[in-house]
Structure 1
């Protein structure tokens, strides 16, 4: 049940100036090509490349809609999560290239819904329609701002500022697994409750106005759906999780002319993205040491990068000439990510509570059979719960008009004697069957 999957796609932000070409030919593979005219004004031969071509699993041009992006990128990952595999979808790119719009969506129309709300709708529709499984779902929403983790779903207080929210700390257990302390995990029974949690978290997100975006997200956010499913009566449980990640945009500080708080935020963003790139390079080169612990973001996303997860990366790029260097840098980063091979395994386990209950039932059944064969009654007395259950069974038996109705008591002599006693008491008290015939 192992799969090696890490999918890379590219999403192009609409602009007026065209300096690129897109090829989605199925035979040749998807690619985006940038044209960089040579500058001959310096008076010497310029041997730099004019064309830069990058290959992707799929390239979405300016005309691609949110539904097409969801069906191509998110739906296959959601299907695997429903089957018991971990999944991650994360967007990476320059500020104002469309990451948040792709992941969360826009507020102008219902059709602008992004990957997160569409994925929630898809998951809960499947849960409602699948009668062969019993599911429970939980949700968490984590923000990493200036290298500090915050719980965006805290409901114990009305936070006016991000700093008022509880901070989340990362701990490692004895097996080096990540534990997020103080991160609340909220149960969501349906799509409406899940969307309300998404909206609650989005109201707490840190945004600010920059030269490129009037409402630029200044943090990394990880929206996680935890799914637990099992067949009725089975002790085998499938536990999977889906990370939907909106990374803060990479920025060139000198070009953006940032200052004050924006400059501080940009430095933290760029440092964390630098550490992410170092992890990607280490994984792609199969180095012995992977520097996950250099940043909070790479620690949290450890499973998504080179671990037990089916991961898809969306590269969002602007093809305006002024953003050419940043766009090509994003493409180069995506090419490195594509070299990583994750091993996604089916997450099945025996639920200890259900397993113990099943073993108790089997043990009692064997005791009853042994008592019937040897003629020795069991040593334990009937519990009050068992007595009440027998009274209900006798009542249902008497009210059943089917002449072939029976009392299913198994081989427990104590239960059989108790039922005879109940029938005798009812007979002496003059109780009649529903058809008027006395006992």
Structure 2
């Protein structure tokens, strides 16, 4: 028989239900992990709600300019090592379990750095359970006598539940037993034992005996659990049995969808109904074995994914005729409590992760950063009244819990902190995020408790009536009414008169029989009177209860309104007090600043007077120094005048000597030209000077370039001049490296109006730069220029065109400049085969070689330009 789809109410609290919204902050608790006394701590407990963080020396606090500044953070409550697991559960998680039983949703997650104790806080140990085991214990302690039969509520795979009758539930139970019955299998290698799912551990576990008292006894309850993980931003179902071998098969990725009530859920997740804490723990340990865990440098068993264990409680009232019969389907209520163990944030430079571990750490940090971004935007929207879109869909973690931050349940967070100084950089970011989270206001829908229009105590009455009828039918003695026994006690007294005499006087004693008949008839007639009176009392009691309940709801709504007004007034008062304190502090600071400014003003005035006195003294000293300087300058001028006069006379004498030498040279040249036969001494012109004597053109003083002539081309030195050794300026044997380029670069210096050559042999310079005037220093002082060529054109005695090419090397000097050493002359000339060379012509050639230096100097000096300084 196909189960019918029930008409469900929206998850409590639903968004469409009537009621008032109340903003509640996210409650954040802090738990400090104990460390050995030998280790240094960077966290100090100030009070039950405040901790103080101080930067240790050498950490980023100093680098960021904090200089060891102490920072205080305030939370809802701070737990140190003196608090037990039970005390933390009673403070943080028990109110969420209470709301779960009453049809409200809740979210609790642990946040912190790797190795700060998040998993221990959530799961605990076998002998000292954490939050999750204690939540399961309290839930089953509260609903132990009010559980529905298994498979009465069945998940519909769309975040809802279907309701089945007892026959359908029994059939599903039989199918489950047949599925769980082991069949013939091939022998396999036995699996290794681990700490999860160990039967001894479950037996040695210490359960929590706490329970929720305010339970609706008229409802039937069923508990369903799911266990998922978010690994690398993918949702995996840890309870999915379709994947048996995790070595060869991977867990399937699940999709987060939105149901008809706009609630987010994991589509196709496995929901298992559990009837006892042991069954729930077996399911948890089954998923725990599939959870992604790994060893890192900071933690031996580090969670590599966000694990989410969800407890869903389904409840609905029963019909008035049966204790556990058909359910009032339209009053079905589903509430859930999500317990989230977030993976720890970590830095790669500490964990030294690579490969897959590095990718896991990146995805963990990205999801935590997305959670932080969503909370920051929520806070900004609430404080500034803006309407920014919260990026819930950027991460599967925030997308799944979107409804909680939109008001569908209460949100609490436990921040786990490791006070070791090595974790300071991560701890300061965790505490800042936790403090910011407390400023987020979650709008919760406050609604009165749902009235199912059923008589209170109906289940207890049905149980009593069934017990009473069984006692009457079995002719057992009817016990007296005892209100201390709510279920098994007889509450309907039978009041009758004593039986008449049953002794017959004789065989025809009709009187006794008639009296007995009348008595029995009266007894039968009065038998229904207690029930009628009981029904009458029941109706009166019900009317009174309905009246009281209405008054109670009205008073409760009024109390809620008054509490809201009172809370607003308290907030206003607290804000005003804080503003007053802030203003007083500002006033004191301003007075202090005014006093400091006045003191500074007095000091500045005193300094001004002192400076004025110093200025006056400096002026007097300056006048004295000025007089001394004037006298010294006058004396220096006279001395310089004398020295310059002596120097001028000396230079005049030297110039006259040089002029005499020049005149002597010109006289010799004229004689050389006038004579028909050249002198042999002219061939040795300039040999008495030192080798490679530099000739510096007058116009190239500031060009950092020096021209050298070979001995046969140098100027004849003055007689009596002696060579003196000096500092080496350049290397005349310098040769350009072949690796510097594919060839020499020539600086081709031509006259402005050069006559075209008709000779067969032509100057061949593949890489050259042609200039007519040597005006730019960069033409010579250039790392690319290695050769220099000066072209001159003249007529010989026969009137023929004579072209000479003076070639030289450009050599770098020690001062960063360059010099040119002329080392070769090429002559291009055309002659008639019938003409003879005359002695005049030969003498002219020799004379031309003798005056080469003069011509080169004139060529260079005539085309150079003095560099501006």
Contact 1:33 1:54 in 2 (8 A): yes
How far, CA to CA, are the matches of 2:416 and 2:270 in structure 1? 30
Q: Distance in 2 between matches of 1:77 and 1:319?
A: 28
Partner in structure 1 of residue 280 of structure 2: 194
1:13 correspondence with 2:33: yes
Q: What is the deviation of 1:254? A: 2.1
Q: 2:132 aligns with which of 103, 110, 116?
A: 116
Specify which of 253, 265, 268 is matched with residue 360 of structure 2. 265
Contact 2:305–2:342 at 8 Å: present in 1 too? yes
Q: Which of 294, 301, 306 pairs up with 2:401? A: 301
Displacement of 1:147 in angstroms is 1.2
Secondary structure, in 3 states, of the residue corresponding to 2:137? helix
1:134 to 220, 224, 236: 220
Aligned residues: 353
2:46 pairs with one of 4, 15, 23: 23
Separation in structure 2 between the aligned mates of residue 73 and residue 127 of structure 1, nearest angstrom = 21
User: Which of residues 146, 159, 181 is equivalent to 2:267?
Assistant: 181
Summarize the alignment of residues 17-96 of structure 1 with structure 2, pairs less than 5 Å apart: 17-25=40-48, 30-37=49-56, 48=67, 50-96=69-115
1:317 aligns with 2:340: no
* TM score, norm. by length of structure 1: 0.73
Query: How far is 1:37 from its partner?
Result: 4.9
Give matches, 1:138-149, under 5 Å: 138-149=224-235
1:238 and 1:348 in contact (8 A); partners too = no
Q: CA deviation at 1:225?
A: 0.7
Counterpart residue number, 1:409: none
CA contact (8 A) 1:85 1:347 kept: no
Structure 1 residue 188: Cα displacement: 1.3
Cα deviations across residues 151-198 of structure 1 (Å, max 9, x unaligned)? 111234424349533321112357754242121111112222111111
Change (3 A) 1:165 1:52: same
In structure 2, distance between residues paired with 1:177 and 1:92 = 24
> Per-residue deviation at 1:5?
4.6
Q: Deviations over 1:60-94 (max 9, x none)?
A: 11232211111111111111111111101100110
Structure 1: how far apart are the matches of 2:64 and 2:220? 69
Q: How does 1:146-225 map to 2 (within 5 A)?
A: 146-161=232-247, 164-172=250-258, 176-225=262-311
Give SS of 2:432's match: helix
Query: Tell me, what secondary structure is at the counterpart of 2:403?
Result: coil
Q: CA deviation at 1:116?
A: 0.6
Classify 1:190/1:345 alpha carbon distance in 2 versus 1 (closer, same or farther; 3 Å).
farther
* DSSP-derived class of the 1:90 partner: strand
Could you tell me how far apart the structure 1 residues matched to 2:112 and 2:402 are?
20
SS in 2 for 1:204: coil
How far residue 306 of structure 1 moved from its aligned partner, in angstroms, is 3.7
Distance 1:72 1:132 in 2: 28
Contact 2:264 2:401 in 1 (8 A): no
Relative distance call for 1:32 and 1:190 in structure 2 (3 A) is same
Work out the CA distance in 2 between the residues paired with 1:124 and 1:208. Answer: 33
Structure 1 residue 343: Cα displacement: 2.8
Distance in structure 1 (CA, Å) of the matches to 2:131 and 2:393: 29
Greater alpha carbon shift after TM alignment, 269-278 vs 302-311: 302-311
Please state whether the residue corresponding to 1:285 is helix, strand or coil. Answer: helix
Higher relative contact order (CA 8 A, sep 6+): 1
CA distance in 2 between counterparts of 1:293 and 1:212 reads 31
CA distance in structure 2 between the partners assigned to 1:45 and 1:165 by the alignment: 44
Q: Bigger shift: 58-67 or 92-101? A: 58-67
Measure the CA separation in 2 of the matches of 1:52 and 1:226.
41
Cα deviation code 1:14-43 (max 9, x no counterpart): 223222211334xxxx01101225669xx9
Q: Given the superposition, is the C-alpha separation of residues 246 and 184 from structure 1 closer, same or farther in structure 2, using an over 3 Å criterion? A: same
Larger Rg: 2
Q: Distance in 1 between matches of 2:315 and 2:294?
A: 40
Q: Identify if the C-alpha distance between structure 1 residues 332 and 122 changes in structure 2 by more than 3 Å, giving closer, same or farther.
A: same
CA distance in 1 between counterparts of 2:261 and 2:410 reads: 22
Residue of structure 2 in register with 1:335 after alignment: 435
Cα distance, 1:288 vs structure 2? 2.4
Which deviates more from structure 2 when the two are superposed, residues 334-343 or residues 207-216?
334-343
TM-fit CA distance, 1:307: 2.8
> Hey, what's the Cα distance between the residues in 2 that align with 1:70 and 1:346?
25
Structure 1: where are the runs of 5+ without partners?
356-395, 407-439
Residues 221/163 of structure 1: CA separation in 2 closer, same or farther (3 Å cut)? farther
* Change beyond 3 A, Cα 1:127–1:198: same
Partner-residue secondary structure (3-state), 1:187: strand
Is residue 24–residue 31 contact of structure 1 (8 Å, CA) maintained in 2?
Answer: yes
Structure 1 residues 346 and 183: alpha-carbon distance in aligned structure 2, compared to 1, 3 A threshold: farther
What is the CA deviation profile of residues 314-356 of structure 1, one whole-angstrom value per residue up to 9, with x for unaligned ones? 1011110010111111111111211122233369999xxx99x
* Cα separation, 1, equivalents of 2:410 and 2:299: 31
Alpha-carbon distance in structure 1 between the residues aligned to 2:343 and 2:309: 14
- Partner-residue secondary structure (3-state), 1:110: coil
Please give the per-residue CA displacement for 1:251-280, whole angstroms capped at 9, x wherever unaligned.
111222111111111011111111111111
Are 2:263 and 2:403, in contact at CA under 8 Å, matched by a contact in 1?
Answer: no
* Structure (1/2) with the larger strand percentage: 1
